[in-house]
Amino acid sequence: MTWIQTGSSICFKPYSLEEALRGLAEAGFENVEIGAVKGFLEHLDPDRLGPAEIDTTRALLARHDLRCVSMSGHAQLHTQEGLGRLRRVLAAGQELGIEVLNTFTGDAGTSRGSRTTCACSRTRQRFAASASASRPTRT
C-alpha cells in the first residue's frame, strides 16, 4: 500500500477556496481534501454544487497543480436534507476524482441519542452501497 500525504482545506477555514488551495500548494501538498460542510466549512457549498462550481474548482486545482483525493461532506444522514447534501458532495467529488468521502453519524450526542445513531448508520450503509454501484470505472 502506498500512503499519500493530504492537506485539508479546513486548515484554511476562514479563507476562500482559492486561498486555501494556494496555501496548501505553497506548503508542499500535492493532494487535498476540500471541505463541503454546510454551516461549518463551505469551501464548496453542498447546497449549490453544480457544473459551474465543479468547473471552477477543477480550474483552481489545476492552477495550483493539486489533486483532490477527498472531500469532507459531513451531513446529518438521518435527515433527507443531510442525505441530499451528501449526495451532491459525492457527485461533485466523483467529477473531481476523489477516492474518499468523509461524513459522520449526525447528532448522536443529542437527546435522541442512539436512535439517531442507528438511523444514521442504516442510511450510511445504504448510501455506501448506492455510491459503490454508481462509481465510475477508472481505466
Q: Kindly list the domain boundaries of the chain, sorted by start residue.
A: 6-134
pLDDT band at 18 (very low <50, low <70, confident <90, very high): very high
Residue 139's pLDDT is 38
CB atoms within 10 A of CB 129: 10
For residue 123, the model assigns a pLDDT of: 58
Contact predicate 24/16, CB 8 Å: no
Asked if the 6-134 domain carries CATH number 3.20.20.150, the reply is: yes
The C-alpha cell at 6 is 493530504
Q: Say if residue 87 is exposed, middle or buried (CB neighbours under 10 Å; 0-12, 13-18, 19+).
A: middle
**pLDDT band per the 50, 70, 90 thresholds, residue 33:** very high
Asked if 42 contacts 17 with a C-beta cutoff of 8 angstroms, the reply is no
Give me the pLDDT at residue 78, please.
77
pLDDT in tens, 46-98: 999 999 999 999 999 999 999 999 999 988 877 888 889 999 999 999 999 99
| pLDDT score for 52 | 96
Reported as a single tens digit per residue, the pLDDT across 100-116 is 988 876 555 555 545 54
